[in-house]
Structure 1
Amino acid sequence: MKQLPNILTLGNLFCGALAIIYILHAPQYIAEFNGHDYAVTNPEPIYWASALVVLAAIFDFLDGMAARLLKLGSPFGKELDSLADMVTFGVVPGMIFFRLLRSAYMQMPDVFDVSYINLAPALLVPCFAAFRLAKFNLDTRQSENFIGVPTPAVGLLVASFPLIMLYNPFNLAHYLQNIWVLYIMIVILCYLMVAEMPMLSMKFKNFNPAQNWPRFLLLILAILAIPVLKFATVPFVFVIYVVLSMAARPATSDK
């Protein structure tokens, strides 16, 4: 039982590493169009990567819960958790953006291949995630709430994009095939991770409605949105989370 939180954290890391394998080894086939051969990626493995990020987020939630319930929190566990989060919620979203950008470029007319220079901005996501996680480990103000959007929230948001591409609710897939939309999202997410903005933690210390109204409201809106928005619920909840955090201005600890 002593190592249970660390085992759960390693489950998070295992899922993240496997997700990267699925993304980078998505099989390609050659399609002919207007006399030219195009390398087309089979997107199915990327959907599996999305599912693995969700499973990793469950492990990430359970390891913290186990550490608190069993009173097994330690500096080692905190560092291990950040290392796992860096892979799952930093590198994996960067790889998904990499694939989405490549796909978006291949939709453009007269494009036969894409330079890696055009795809390199996707790697800003893991870079900013690393910066945020290192800062989190040293910042004593983030013991109760966050400063900047936590990396798991970014990871889950980006992991929803392949599923939105698959099911295309409200024709959102059209926007995820636009290179400028993708570049703008990369910039916004990188900024939000390191911004000096107090953000809500979803940990309930009690169930007092007056103290937890933003958390209750976020949960209620998420539940109501699922039947209507389906996979688009994830970006909807992400935006509401940021707006509620800014409206509620959660206090940060200076201990």
Structure 2
Amino acid sequence: MTKHIPNFLTLLNVLSGCIATVFAAYNQLEYAALFVFVGVLFDFLDGFAARMLKAYSELGLQLDSLADMVTSGLVPGMIMFQLLRMATSEGWTEPHLVNFDGSLGSWLPFAGFILTMASAYRLAKFNIDTEQTDSFIGLPTPANALFVIALPLILLNQNNEVLSAMIHNPWFLIGVVLVNSWLMNARIPLFSLKFKTWGFAGNEIRYIFLALCLVGLLTMKFMAIPAIIVLYVLLSLVGNAMRKS
């Protein structure tokens, strides 16, 4: 019976992604972001449960990637579509209306789905890659999802004119799409948060990262989330350089 617990948690990730998809389609991006976060939490818990229960299976591996494709692949693309739609119009438009007239501005929001394409490619590679057991190569799709969902949360909840102007700029958003799509598929080793032991030795970079995350979230709120993803990449690069030296 216990061997089914990780897969059940993965299916809850799928459910969270489905709910987030509905909210993203109706431009209710705060709720979409909430259910992406819930899905990412289930994504962490299913792996944790599999390690604790030693309930590994090929089915679990495939199911995990399928769940991530919904929660951390499709939904970020939809959220970016809505952000680009807002940035190329006068504001939040009716969710059921797509103002398509053939111009560049009406095509541009669909570029958000480049994130979905890049996520699909990364997840397919991950399933056949034997190198990504204790670490990642390229930005994990949940990390990209967290980065993207933070953008509407910042826009809607934090009164920061500079950041609001950036998020309202379609070319900044396109830059996020292109950079994050590249990072997800780049051959850059990134550390994982999988703890084999709870001691500080051997887990220094993980504990430092978690401590900085906590400080950032307490002081910067939603603005901390993109900063945390950038910090994650930078700490990984520093760790890579230190291992090579």
Q: Same fold (TM over 0.5)?
A: yes
User: Residue type of the partner of 2:44?
Assistant: F
- In 2, Cα distance between the equivalents of 1:73 and 1:117? 43
Task: Report the 3-state secondary structure (helix = DSSP H, G, I; strand = E; otherwise coil) of the residue aligned with 1:204.
Answer: coil
1:29 is matched with none
- In 2, Cα distance between the equivalents of 1:8 and 1:74? 14
Task: Report the 3-state secondary structure (helix = DSSP H, G, I; strand = E; otherwise coil) of the residue aligned with 1:209.
Answer: coil
1:104-161 alpha-carbon deviations (Å, 9 max, x no partner)? 00139xxx94554222211111111011011111110111100001001011111111
Task: Report the 3-state secondary structure (helix = DSSP H, G, I; strand = E; otherwise coil) of the residue aligned with 2:61.
Answer: helix
Q: Which runs of 5+ in 1 are unaligned?
A: 27-44
Q: How many Å apart are 1:211 and its aligned residue? A: 1.9
1:233 is matched with 224
Q: How many Å apart are 1:2 and its aligned residue? A: 2.8
User: Residue type of the partner of 1:163?
Assistant: L
Change (3 A) 1:250 1:91: farther
Candidates 221, 233, 242, aligned match of 1:242: 233
Aligned length: 230
- In 2, Cα distance between the equivalents of 1:162 and 1:225? 18
Change (3 A) 1:224 1:169: farther
2:95 is matched with none
Aligned pairs for 1:205-216 within 5 A: 205-216=196-207
1:136 is matched with 126
Candidates 101, 109, 131, aligned match of 2:84: 101
Mapped contact 1:169–1:232 kept (Cα < 8 A) = no
1:221 is matched with 212
- In 2, Cα distance between the equivalents of 1:235 and 1:194? 18
1:189 is matched with 180
- In 2, Cα distance between the equivalents of 1:145 and 1:198? 7
Task: Report the 3-state secondary structure (helix = DSSP H, G, I; strand = E; otherwise coil) of the residue aligned with 1:2.
Answer: helix
1:2-27 alpha-carbon deviations (Å, 9 max, x no partner)? 3111111010011101111111124x
Higher-Rg member (1/2): 1
Candidates 172, 189, 193, aligned match of 1:198: 189
User: Residue type of the partner of 1:7?
Assistant: F
1:86 is matched with 69
Candidates 46, 50, 73, aligned match of 1:63: 46
Aligned pairs for 1:151-190 within 5 A: 151-171=141-161, 172-190=163-181
Mapped contact 1:10–1:84 kept (Cα < 8 A) = yes
- In 1, Cα distance between the equivalents of 2:241 and 2:117? 26
- In 2, Cα distance between the equivalents of 1:63 and 1:247? 29
Q: Which runs of 5+ in 2 are unaligned?
A: 92-97
Mapped contact 1:9–1:59 kept (Cα < 8 A) = yes
1:53 is matched with 36
1:75 equivalenced with 2:75 (yes/no): no
Task: Report the 3-state secondary structure (helix = DSSP H, G, I; strand = E; otherwise coil) of the residue aligned with 1:199.
Answer: strand
- In 1, Cα distance between the equivalents of 2:111 and 2:26? 20
- In 2, Cα distance between the equivalents of 1:238 and 1:163? 15
1:158-184 alpha-carbon deviations (Å, 9 max, x no partner)? 111111111235331221100010000
CA RMSD after TM alignment: 1.8
Task: Report the 3-state secondary structure (helix = DSSP H, G, I; strand = E; otherwise coil) of the residue aligned with 1:3.
Answer: helix
Task: Report the 3-state secondary structure (helix = DSSP H, G, I; strand = E; otherwise coil) of the residue aligned with 1:86.
Answer: helix
Q: How many Å apart are 1:250 and its aligned residue? A: 8.8
1:167-223 alpha-carbon deviations (Å, 9 max, x no partner)? 235331221100010000000000000000000101111234342221111111111
User: Larger deviation: 221-230 or 53-62?
Assistant: 221-230
Mapped contact 1:169–1:230 kept (Cα < 8 A) = no
Normalised by the size of structure 2, how large is the TM-score? 0.89
User: Larger deviation: 66-75 or 187-196?
Assistant: 66-75
Normalised by the size of structure 1, how large is the TM-score? 0.86
Task: Report the 3-state secondary structure (helix = DSSP H, G, I; strand = E; otherwise coil) of the residue aligned with 1:211.
Answer: coil
